[in-house]
A = this chain, B = another copy of it.
């Protein structure tokens, strides 16, 4: 069973959310601990599921993706199986990086990264509107990114 987080756990998680390539020794004295207990805490945080993965973050611009677009879709799903199919389809499109079910007239929100507006326009017609059940789409184009972090707030929750 998973427990709460004490102050040191919080410091460890905050540090690893910024940079997980640092050594255990480095991390240890940043959080005020020695190597082994620090290492054991990291293991525990992983086992308990607080740490989901360690990944490399790439630079979207350098990869040629300068556009972030949020698109709201209107879908028509009566059966759960159709919905499942839609989710699988959407999940398999690498340019769709996020997908949420939302309240309102348009019931799905996706975030798409695109090389440029022309590519996006074709993407809507050739890919999104061809997904089964998608009836309508409305896009919000981001001109510039003012903040984008993968770091979540972490607070002490220790019993």
List residues of chain B with CB within 8 A of the CB of A65.
152-153
Give A63 to B70 CA distance when docked, in angstroms. 26
Query: Given known contacts A58-B13, A95-B153, is B143 in contact with A100 (CB within 8 Å)?
Result: yes
A149 within 8 A of B: yes
Chain A: how many interface residues by the 8 Å CB criterion?
A: 62
Q: Are the CB atoms of B51 and A58 closer together than 8 Å?
A: yes
Give residues of chain A (98-120) contacting chain B, Cβ–Cβ below 8 Å. 98-104, 108-109, 113
Q: Are the CB atoms of B143 and A102 closer together than 8 Å?
A: yes
Query: Given known contacts A60-B152, A157-B64, is B54 in contact with A146 (CB within 8 Å)?
Result: no
List residues of chain B with CB within 8 A of the CB of A98.
145, 147-149
Give A153 to B94 CA distance when docked, in angstroms. 6
Q: Are the CB atoms of A55 and B58 closer together than 8 Å?
A: no
Query: Which of these, B91, B104, B146, contacts A90 with CB under 8 Å?
Result: B146
Q: Are the CB atoms of B59 and A144 closer together than 8 Å?
A: no
Give residues of chain A (22-77) contacting chain B, Cβ–Cβ below 8 Å. 48-60, 62-65, 68, 70, 72
26 pairs, A vs B, C-beta closer than 8 Å: A2-B62, A17-B55, A17-B56, A20-B20, A20-B21, A20-B54, A21-B54, A50-B58, A51-B59, A52-B57, A53-B57, A54-B57, A58-B154, A63-B154, A64-B157, A87-B146, A97-B147, A98-B149, A100-B144, A101-B142, A101-B144, A102-B140, A103-B140, A108-B146, A109-B140, A113-B153
